[in-house]
Amino acid sequence: METFNFNELKYNEQGLIPVVVQSFETKEVLMLAYMNEEALKRTLETKMGTYFSRSRQELWQKGETSGNVQYVKRLSYDCDADTLLLEVIQEGVACHTGEMSCFHRVILEDQGDSQPKDLLSDLYQTIVHRKNNPIEGSYTNYLFNKGLDKILKKVGEETAEVIIASKNQSASETIYEISDLVYHTLVLMVNQGIHLDEIKKELQSRQQKKK
């Protein structure tokens, strides 16, 4: 990639440019922040989401105190060069309220025209949210509290259930058990800090090798 020319960007009178922060995995818009040139350079150097606080008038790295850091995967800018798009792997939640996205207050949602969601990514993010925001009585939190051995035991049990259901020639039972296996595998991934995009990259790499 060619060296980026910072002069191409159009900052406002305060020397700031808005940054739309988006989940690299789910494409959900997580937050809106601002960068000055120093924050942008810091983000490019560290590959961590770093912004400029208009209220405190200083740089801040997302997750410095909360631990909900953002690992930068892609940075681009729009056709007018006055807005940045930052695609990140969000560790934990993006919003200080405990919600995954700062944009959780829905004004209008036309379900009839809604596009199909990436259910796997949504489920992964739900498990991440539950891990960071425990709820009493949650089965997901029960698994995390019991630890790795319990999670592995469940993955093994569900694998066996898939085999049994398949041997029984029951499509509905097999679908049910595969769904259980997928869920518990995602719990294992979250517990081990493995992101969905890492699995996707591995599968893409294997696909390319077979061509």
Pair 92, 67: CB distance under 8 Å: yes
| Residue 150 burial (CB count, 10 A) | 15
- Helix, strand, coil fractions of the chain, as percent rounded to 5: 45, 20, 35
Pair 91, 63: CB distance under 8 Å: yes
Query: Coil, strand or helix: which one is 174?
Result: helix
Tell me what pLDDT residue 112 has: 63
What is the model's pTM? 0.64
Query: Coil, strand or helix: which one is 39?
Result: helix
Fold adopted by 6-90 = Ubiquitin-like (UB roll) (3.10.20)
Tell me what pLDDT residue 164 has: 96
Tell me what pLDDT residue 4 has: 72
> Which residue's entry shows tokens 């060296």?
3
Tell me what pLDDT residue 166 has: 96
Tell me what pLDDT residue 117 has: 62
| Residue 149 burial (CB count, 10 A) | 8
d(CA 46, CA 137): 39
Angle, in degrees to the nearest 10, between helices 148-167 and 139-146 = 120
Question: Taking Cα atoms as reference points, which of 50, 56, 55 lies closest to residue 69?
Answer: 50
Alpha-carbon distances, residue 32 vs 76, 81, 84, 122, 176 (angstroms)? 15, 16, 10, 21, 39
User: Terminal CA-to-CA distance of the chain, rounded, Å?
Assistant: 26
The ranges assigned to domains in the chain are: 6-90, 115-210
- The pLDDT tens digits along the chain (211 residues) read 456 778 889 999 999 999 999 998 888 899 999 999 999 999 999 999 999 999 999 999 999 888 899 999 999 999 999 999 999 998 888 998 888 899 989 887 776 655 556 788 889 988 988 888 888 888 999 999 999 999 999 999 999 999 999 999 989 999 999 999 999 999 999 999 998 888 988 988 888 777 6
Buried b / exposed e across 90-103, counting CB within 10 Å, b at 16+?
Answer: bbbbbeeeeebbbe
- Tokens at residue 93, please? 């939640």
- Which amino acid, one-letter code, is at 180? D
Stretch (H or E) spanning 76: strand 70-77
Kindly report the CATH number that applies to the domain delimited by 115-210: 1.10.287.1080
- Taking the CA of residue 21 as centre, how many other CA atoms within 13 Å lie in the half-sphere pointing to its CB? 26
